Amino acid sequence: MTGRTSRSGTGPGPREILEAAALAFTRTGYEATTIDGIAELLGATKGRVYHYYRTKADIFLDVVQTGMEEMIAGVAPIAATADISSADRLWRMVHHHAGLMMTRNSFQRVAVQAVEMHRLQENQAHREAYQKVIALRDEYEQMFADVIDEGKREGLFRDVDPRLATKPALGALNWISLWYDPERGDYATVQRVANEYADFIVNGLRRSRT
């Protein structure tokens, strides 16, 4: 991933650093987050962070990429399932996405906001990493668009533009990461919210019965 060094050693590793960084970026935002702040949350020295990462931007982009890859890894198998209807697949995809917004809140909140942070393209390595993030986002959106398009062709969904319909659906889902408080939620709450969003989005696309 971007900017990570190849050194190894004892103590917290890259994964632990990313967990702490995701929390730091969520709490204070990109500009106010410092390497010192990440190290404090990590319970280590900032030298430990620099052992793996050169800059704050490198860490940020790795957090974003990790969040995007988690979403794709969870949704892709559902989208590819052949023995259930497109409507059922979309419901499960939405449900999974909503769950990630709550159970992996820090990573997903950072990932949601990062795609608009064009200033991160300050050098060639960061530009390449940023473009990879955009490519991952496009890949993810296309999975939803493809399932919506299939549902439209099957007569399950209204005659919508699949790519256009995907935008507000994911926008509503991504907003969960901004209002949901993972410290106050529990499993039942996560399931209830995910169910509500899945019903709302899929039913909003269904053809009228009249």
Q: Which of 209, 207, 201 is nearest to 89 (CA)?
A: 201
Whole-model pTM over 0.75: yes
Residues 54-112: pLDDT tens digits?
999 899 999 999 999 999 999 999 999 989 999 999 999 999 999 999 998 888 888 87
pLDDT of residue 6: 45
- pLDDT over threshold 80, residue 139: yes
Q: Where are the beta strands (DSSP E) in the chain?
A: none
User: Which residues are bridge partners to 206 per DSSP?
Assistant: 157
Cα torsion 45, 46, 51, 53 to 10°: value is 150
